[in-house]
A and B are shown apart, each in its own frame.
Chain A
Amino acid sequence: MQAHLDHGTLRLAFAGDILSTNVAQQRVALLSHLAAHPTAAGIVADLTHARAIDSQGLNLLIALYRECERRQLSFRAENPAPEILRLFIALKLAERFGLQPALASP
């Protein structure tokens, strides 16, 4: 996982799919990067290289989102693959992840 600070926002680029087989390792990496950048005002999860995500991967992203809530950091996901975006939308995570403007209420 690549990480760099960009104008106060910590960009975390996932290197590939986010699956049950690698979430434990990614969780450690995320904690490590957060600890290394205590001044970050927000987090961007760059999903460009993730083509698939399973329920444990989803769990990890939600944990990251909850972590940001807890630390009062902004959070958004960026550039998810279409199928991942569809999943976020279907589970109403897209708005939480800053991917979809809220629909106008009728």
Chain B
Amino acid sequence: MNEDEMLGLFVQESRDHLATLEADLLALESDAGDADRLNRVFRAVHTVKGTAGFFGFAAITSLAHVMESVLALVRDGRMAATPALVTDLLAATDRLRTMVADPRQAATIPSAAELAALQALLHLEPAVAAAPAARSVPTSLHAFRFDPELIRAALREGHHFYVVQLRLQADIEAAGQTPLHYLREIASVGTLIDTALDLGSVGGLEDDTPTDLVCSILFATPMEPDLLLGAFGIPASQLAQTSSEFFHDWLRSQPTLVPRTSPPAATAPHPRPDETVRLPTRLLDELTQLVGELAQGRDHLLLLAAEPGTPAELNAAVQSLATVATGLQHALTRARCQPVGDLFGRFPRLLHDLGRKLGKDIRLETSGDDLPLDRALLAGLTDPLTHLIRNSADHGIESPAERRRLGKPAVGVVCLRATLEDGTLEVEVRDDGRGLDLARITAKAIERELVSPHQAAGLSPAEVRQLIFAPGLSTAPEVSDVSGRGVGMDVVKTDIGQLGGQINLDSAPGEGTVVTIRLPVRQPRLQLEPARAA
């Protein structure tokens, strides 16, 4: 794998980690005690940090490091995953995403604000009086810096700690390796904790005595000493195992990071691991094309095989081939699909940010996330649903104070529901907000000369609700950057129309609004069943 390929892999994997991170951070806001999720969040940041460090992307490493420190406090129950904290972590995640998109330019992307926001949450407090005194550091470890998180993780995994001393020239280069490659090999079997180069052995420029630099490496691995010696060809005299007891003591004696604010929230679980691989859409399209041609060949063969006089063995072989081809078509059809949850997964962040901006507490509920749909259809629904959710947040859901005054829960709810029945996809966006103000819609429609006062007087409530889809109509008292320019609902209707669907709207004053999108679902252009032989 060359440099660019490795970098491409780093970018792709980091994006995946950050996508998971965002979803998990949002979930933590309401489910702070989910230990598995917290660990997943921590691992995602740690992996991005570690890989970026290996590539030398210091700006990415620095930001990820501070995120990791804050997350460690949350994971250890010393800081609550408050909305403010989640917002700071999301902002840092956004910045990381920008950085990993072009990691070579990451250092030019300003991240001081995100760093400062997270660093403000941290301050050091001396270890409590009862904490044990630090055991003296063995001489063999004097040169190293210990990262508490790496040490903690290694201890948790029950790894052994080792120090190996290697001469860069005699032990590494003479074996046809490079120091960097060697370190990567060690990291691949455990955790590389630190390295120390013996700079004391190098004099100034006038000292031209050849010196073979000695590098000491502290690492942790599940491998036993014998296995390690064999696997790395390390001379036994250059490898020393270090007692993990020392690291236990060292961890206990460390200053404790404490948050500026405290208590953690309650618990609840539900992680859903994904086992997926990425495929370029272009490749899927090529496969679709090829499988389509295969289907035509299959049908032709079936017709030929049905001719009288075809040998039974040939007929059987054709039938067998047809079965495989049909199976391939079905599999490819599934491969072209994505779960609706991939689309719905975009909106928790949107609602979180809108809620912060508008001073509202809004919760998103979804159902039908596992429904598989063609990815092109999902892509076509993204913008319309974004408009609808923005509208619900901005116009529908009331402020917490108003909701309490009305006897409603302070937290507003937006529900997204997807169902598929008889070839029709139904996506519903429902909120429990104030509902449409029909009088205001009517007045606006008259003002915009969409209807005359006389016509307006004769409109039924359902007809008034339809006016919301007219171009340029907005009932928002002020234009905001969230919504309210009246360019949303007509665009939504147009977009849905282009997908071959319909949109309906229902609303009850004080109870909320339901927008229902119905779309005919076509299978991807594959002929799914073999043609019947005449």
Which residues of B (147-206) have their CB < 8 Å from a CB of A? 148-149, 168-169, 172-173, 178-180, 183, 194-197, 199, 202-206
**B260 → chain A closest CB, angstroms:** 15
- Extra 18 A-B pairs, beta carbons < 8 Å, given A59-B213, A67-B206, A82-B3: A55-B212, A66-B203, A82-B56, A89-B58, A90-B54, A90-B183, A91-B197, A92-B194, A92-B195, A92-B196, A92-B197, A93-B197, A100-B56, A104-B65, A104-B69, A104-B115, A106-B65, A106-B68
Residues of B within 8 A of A82 (CB): 3, 55-56, 104
The interface bits of chain B over 87-120 (1 if a CB of A lies within 8 angstroms of the residue's CB, else 0) are 0000000000000000010000000000100010
23 contacts between A and B (CB under 8 A): A54-B173, A55-B168, A55-B212, A58-B168, A58-B213, A62-B197, A62-B213, A63-B203, A63-B204, A66-B199, A82-B3, A86-B55, A86-B56, A87-B180, A88-B56, A89-B53, A90-B179, A92-B195, A101-B62, A104-B65, A104-B66, A104-B69, A106-B122
Report A78 CB to chain B, min CB distance, Å.
Answer: 13
Q: Does B215 contact A (CB under 8 A)?
A: yes
Q: Kindly state whether residue A103 has any CB partner on chain B within 8 Å.
A: yes
A87 CA to B54 CA, complexed, in Å: 9
Taking each of B3, B208, B212, which has the highest tally of chain A beta carbons within 10 Å of its own beta carbon?
Answer: B208
The answer to whether A103 and B56 have CB atoms under 8 Å apart is no
**Does B56 lie within 8 Å of A94, measured CB to CB?**
yes
Q: Which of B54, B205, B215 contacts A27 (CB 8 A)?
A: B205
Q: B316 → chain A, closest Cβ, in Å?
A: 58
Give chain B's interface residues, CB within 8 Å of chain A.
Answer: 3, 53-56, 58, 61-62, 65-66, 68-69, 72, 104, 115, 119, 122, 148-149, 168-169, 172-173, 178-180, 183, 194-197, 199, 202-208, 210-213, 215, 257
Binary flags per residue of A27-46, CB closer than 8 Å to B gives 1, else 0? 10011001000000000000
**In the complex with contacts A90-B183, A104-B66, A55-B54 CB distance below 8 A:** no
Q: Does A3 contact B (CB under 8 A)?
A: no
Complex-state Cα separation, A30 to B205, whole angstroms: 8
Closest B residue to A91 by CB, please name it. B197
Contacting residue for A63 out of B54, B61, B202, CB 8 A: B202
Within the assembled complex, what's the spacing in Å between the Cα atoms of A57 and B215? 15
A5 at the interface (CB under 8 A from B): no
Q: How far is the CA of A90 from the CA of B194 in the complex (A)?
A: 8
Q: In the docked arrangement, what's the CA distance between A94 and B56, Å?
A: 9
Binding site for B on A (CB under 8 A): 24, 27, 30-31, 34, 54-56, 58-59, 62-64, 66-67, 70, 82-83, 85-94, 99-101, 103-104, 106
Q: Measured between alpha carbons, how far is A32 from B68 in the docked complex, in Å?
A: 47
| Inter-chain contacts of A94 with B (CB < 8 A) | 56, 58
Q: How far is the CB of A21 from chain B (nearest CB, A)?
A: 13
Interface of B is mostly: helix
B169 contacts across to A, CB distance below 8 A = 54-56
B206 and A31 contact, CB distance less than 8 A: yes
Q: Which of A31, A62, A86, A88 contacts B202 (CB 8 A)?
A: A62
Whole-angstrom distance between the Cβ of B75 and the nearest chain A Cβ: 13
A34 touches B205 (CB 8 A): yes
Do the beta carbons of A67 and B72 come within 8 Å of each other? no
Establish whether residues B179 and A87, one from each chain, have CB atoms under 8 Å apart when the complex forms: yes
A64 vs B149: C-alpha distance in the bound complex, in angstroms? 35
Q: What chain A residues lie within 8 Å of B3 (beta carbons)? A: 82-83
- Tell me, in angstroms, the Cα distance from A85 to B261 when the chains sit together: 39
The residue that A104 contacts in the complex, of B62, B203, B206, B215, with Cβ under 8 A, is B62
Q: Which residues of A contact B69 (CB under 8 A)?
A: 104, 106
Query: What residues on A are CB-neighbors of B206 within 8 Å?
Result: 31, 67
Known: A64-B205, A91-B195, A94-B56. A55 touches B172 (CB 8 A): yes
| Residues B179 and A66 in contact, CB atoms below 8 Å apart | no
How far does the Cβ of A29 sit from chain B's closest Cβ, in whole Å? 10
A87 to B197, CA, bound (A): 12
Q: Is A70 touching B204 in the complex (CB atoms < 8 A)?
A: yes
Known: A94-B58, A106-B122, A106-B257. A59 touches B202 (CB 8 A): yes
Shortest C-beta distance, A61 to chain B (Å), equals: 10
Asked if A103 meets B65 with Cβ closer than 8 Å, knowing A55-B168, A91-B197, the reply is yes
Judge whether B58 and A59 touch: CB under 8 Å. no
- For A91, give its contact among B68, B208, B211, B215 (CB under 8 Å): B215
The 4 closest A-B pairs by CB, nearest first: A55-B168, A106-B69, A67-B204, A85-B56
Question: Are A106's CB and B148's CB within 8 A?
Answer: yes
